[in-house]
């Protein structure tokens, strides 16, 4: 007998829907139709998608309903940031240079999700070449505010219950920041835990593939597929999770946190009273933001050499300025910056001697008003440079009623422990 969920199908968390689908108490066809109905209702305002694959998704859903259970994501619709190649939908990288480009193969992450039974429902908006120049997407909580970037469409679609899961990338703060602004769970895995093949490259040192969902268990399910590490989605890890030792790290940039982030921090201190102790980064890790900016600028300028040399007039003014900054950095200086990055990553492991995870700000505050920018990734840059896994946890509201939260950071390679701790922490923050 079909299951009658207490909430509309499109609002089910991914892990809940996956369990119902695996038991055949929910059909993939019904779930896809529910998501498409939600998209039809909300997409004119939110503008999260570049293109939908409604007909193909329904065909695939019927195939899945008639066949064997395929994997962890069987029957789940998902969205893909338009920075990932897809063999059946155009990939434009958020730039007029690539309008209508049709790849012949899926990016590795897309292929892995499909192999696990997920259905590609559409390509989501990215900023221009995954940099700072915004796309059309609006914050689903307030259309006059940015959803963040560069994974703007993916975060907004999940936040507005159009999709249970969506893929994104982070080079500075492009997973955690839009997750914070849109009020969803964002997961940035450890650097190089997820294959980047088929994703438009900006910075080999920094680029990381991750995703969005509405709960920690959901991103863990996605993470298990992307990394191939079944520990990430082990139900026992969540059911038996115990209190982690938390390092409370306001970071050297804390003075730039506004009243909304400060209030979220104070709320977390009450909810997690007695868990852990303050953590101050050592002087050797004090210049990470500037170092991240330099590494990103140098590598982005060179990754986008074709665009710079052949399509300069189709690049936005802010992107041209970033490229100019990167070209002004010498190869010798970049080599020194890479050495400094390697040292910092090695030193960062010592942060977890006396704590299991680090709690830190995700953003300066609420999503800024206006659609001409995507907000400042200030509080994400250091953790991205260090290559550490991060999970944004939404649980509060700012002065304008928009989402605010904090991020939990784990040791490199300890994604499964981070996600289990994040589940435990989020239950108490959101409860």
Interhelix angle 331-348/378-386, rounded to 10 degrees, is 80
Told to judge if 270 belongs to the known catalytic residues of this protein, a careful annotator would answer: no
Other beta carbons within 10 angstroms of residue 172's beta carbon come to 26
User: Percent of the chain scored above 70 by pLDDT?
Assistant: 99
Sign of the CA dihedral 98, 191, 146, 395? positive
- 362 in active site: no
The pLDDT score that the predictor gives to residue 431 is: 84
| pLDDT at site 5 | 52
Mean pLDDT along residues 136-160: 98
Instruction: From the candidates 27, 86, 95, 150, give the one annotated as an active-site residue.
Output: 150
Mean pLDDT of 264-284: 97
- Asked if residue 137 lies in contact with residue 125, where contact means CB atoms within 8 angstroms, the answer is yes
Indicate which residue of 81, 188, 196, 200 is catalytic: 81
Instruction: For residue 7, name the pLDDT band (cuts at 50, 70, 90).
Output: confident
Distances (CA, A) of 21 to 6, 26, 58, 59, 60: 16, 5, 15, 16, 14
- Round to whole Å and give the CA distance between 417 and 409: 10
* Mean of the per-residue pLDDT values of the chain: 97
Tokens of 327: 């070209």
- Secondary structure of residue 284 in the 3-state scheme: helix
Query: What is the mean pLDDT of the segment spanning 118-141?
Result: 98
Residue 174 annotated among the catalytic residues of the structure:
yes
Report pTM. 0.97
Helix (H) or strand (E) segment spanning residue 135: none
Tally the residues of the chain.
Answer: 431
Residues ≥6 apart with Cβ < 8 Å to 186: 155, 168, 175, 176, 178, 179, 180, 210, 211, 212, 219, 390, 391, 392
DSSP reduced 3-state for 138: coil
Written as six digits, the tokens of 346 are 């090695």
137 to 46, 124, 371, 426: CA distances (angstroms): 6, 9, 8, 27
- How many Cα atoms sit within 13 Å of 391 on the Cβ side? 32
The mean per-residue pLDDT over the stretch 138-143 comes to: 98
Query: Per-residue pLDDT tens for 76-97?
Result: 999 999 999 999 999 999 999 9
Domains of the chain, start order: 1-431 (3.90.1300.10)
pLDDT-based confidence at residue 1 (cuts at 50, 70, 90): very low
pLDDT in tens, 226-260: 999 999 999 999 999 999 999 999 999 999 999 99
pLDDT value at 120 more than 50? yes
- What per-residue confidence (pLDDT) applies to 415? 98
Q: Is the pLDDT of residue 2 over 70?
A: no
Condensed to tens digits (0 to 9), the pLDDT of residues 287-336 reads: 999 999 999 999 999 999 999 999 999 999 999 999 999 999 999 999 99
Q: Provide the token pair at 317.
A: 């003014």
Give residue 88's pLDDT. Answer: 98
Among all chains, which residue has been given the structure tokens 């290559």? Answer: 387
| Catalytic-labelled residue, pool 174, 190, 215, 303 | 174
């Amino acid at each position: 007998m079909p299951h009658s969920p207490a909430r509309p199908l499109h609002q089910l968390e991914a892990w809940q829907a996956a369990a119902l689908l695996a038991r055949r108490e929910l059909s993939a066809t019904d779930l896809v139709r529910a998501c498409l109905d939600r998209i039809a209702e909300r997409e004119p305002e939110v503008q999260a998608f570049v293109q939908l694959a409604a007909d193909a998704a329904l065909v695939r859903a019927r195939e899945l309903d008639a066949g064997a259970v395929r994997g962890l994501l069987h029957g789940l619709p998902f969205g893909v940031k338009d920075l990932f190649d897809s063999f059946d939908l155009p990939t434009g990288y958020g730039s007029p240079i690539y309008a209508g480009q049709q790849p012949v193969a899926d990016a590795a992450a897309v292929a892995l999700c499909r192999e696990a039974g997920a259905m590609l429902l559409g390509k989501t908006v990215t900023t221009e070449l995954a940099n700072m120049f915004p796309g059309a997407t609006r914050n689903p909580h307030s259309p006059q505010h940015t959803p963040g970037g560069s994974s703007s469409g993916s975060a907004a679609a999940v936040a507005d219950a159009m999709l249970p899961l969506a893929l994104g990338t982070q080079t500075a703060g492009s997973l955690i920041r839009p997750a914070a602004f849109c009020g969803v769970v964002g997961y940035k895995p450890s650097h190089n835990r997820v294959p980047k093949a088929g994703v438009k490259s900006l910075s080999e040192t920094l680029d990381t593939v991750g995703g969005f969902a509405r709960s920690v268990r959901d991103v863990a399910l996605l993470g298990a597929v992307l990394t191939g590490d079944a520990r990430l989605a082990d139900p026992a890890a969540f059911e038996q999770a115990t209190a982690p030792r938390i390092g409370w790290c306001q970071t050297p940039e804390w003075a730039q946190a506004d009243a909304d982030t400060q209030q979220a921090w104070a709320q977390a201190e009450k909810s997690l009273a007695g868990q852990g102790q303050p953590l101050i980064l050592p002087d050797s890790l004090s210049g990470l933001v500037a170092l991240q900016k330099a590494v990103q600028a140098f590598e982005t300028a060179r990754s986008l050499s074709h665009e710079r040399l052949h399509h300069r007039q189709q690049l936005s003014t802010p992107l041209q300025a970033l490229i100019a900054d990167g070209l002004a950095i010498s190869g010798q200086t970049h080599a020194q910056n890479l050495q400094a990055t390697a040292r910092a990553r090695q030193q960062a492991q010592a942060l977890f001697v006396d704590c299991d995870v680090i709690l830190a700000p995700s953003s300066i505050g609420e999503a800024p008003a206006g659609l001409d920018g995507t907000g400042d990734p200030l509080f994400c840059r250091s953790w991205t440079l260090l290559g550490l896994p991060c999970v944004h946890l939404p649980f509060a509201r700012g002065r304008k009623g928009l989402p605010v939260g904090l991020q939990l950071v784990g040791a490199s390679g300890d994604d499964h422990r981070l996600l289990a701790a994040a589940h435990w922490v989020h239950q108490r923050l959101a409860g």
